[in-house]
């Protein structure tokens, strides 16, 4: 690989490190979160909208009714959970990309070693005559 190609790879790695640092900041922030989503339902056409928390469980999801005065409280916490989950998913993808680029950089920095063809070498155990 040429020095220019290696420089481009290093530049990509630095950009990924910067983005990963920002995502780690989001993940480590001390914000309270609720691992759920807000579901809006309307029963019978003209009635008001009802809000539920959709809480994931191993068997499916569990729904909890949210009163109007609780809606802002849970909306902030579910938004923070969504932001956290997206940041972690992006962090994983960037980590995989960074690993691929670092391996590519390592291969590009290795020198090529010529292998000479010539006389075959004896195996270490076949050099000495066997003693009976």
When the pLDDT of each residue in the chain is averaged and rounded to a whole number, the result is 88
Whether 121 has a pLDDT exceeding 70, the answer reads no
Tell me the per-residue pLDDT of 33-57, one tens digit each, with 9 for 90 and over.
999 999 998 887 777 889 999 999 9
Question: What does the chain come to in residues?
Answer: 132
Contact in structure between 105 and 24 (CB atoms under 8 Å)? no
Strands 60-66 and 37-42: unpaired
Please check the confidence at residue 115 and state whether its pLDDT lies above 90.
no
Segment 67-95 shows an average pLDDT of 95
**How is the chain split into domains, by residue range?**
3-109
Instruction: Report pLDDT for 123.
Output: 64
What is the token pair recorded at 54?
A: 């959709």
pLDDT for the residue 46 = 73
pLDDT in tens, 19-38: 999 999 999 999 999 999 99
Are 81 and 33 in contact by the 8 Å Cβ rule? The answer is yes
Report if pTM > 0.85.
no
Mean pLDDT of 87-115: 91
Instruction: Give the end-to-end CA distance of the chain in Å, rounded to a whole number.
Output: 55
Lookup result for tokens 């420089």: 7
- Which tokens sit at 128? 């000495």
Query: What confidence score (pLDDT) does residue 131 get?
Result: 58
Measured distance CA(42)–CA(30) in Å, rounded: 35
């Amino acid at each position: 690989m040429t020095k220019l190609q290696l420089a481009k790879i290093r530049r990509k790695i630095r950009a990924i490190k910067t983005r990963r640092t920002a995502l780690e900041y989001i993940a480590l922030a001390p914000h309270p979160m609720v691992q759920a989503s807000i579901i809006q339902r309307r029963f019978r056409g003209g009635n008001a909208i009802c809000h539920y928390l959709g809480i994931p469980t191993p068997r499916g999801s569990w729904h909890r009714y949210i009163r109007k005065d609780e809606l802002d409280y849970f909306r902030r916490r579910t938004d923070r959970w969504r932001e956290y989950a997206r940041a972690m998913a992006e962090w994983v993808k960037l980590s995989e990309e960074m690993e691929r680029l670092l391996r590519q950089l390592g291969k590009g920095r290795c020198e090529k070693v010529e292998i000479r063809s010539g006389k075959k070498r004896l195996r270490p155990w076949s050099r000495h005559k066997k003693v009976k």
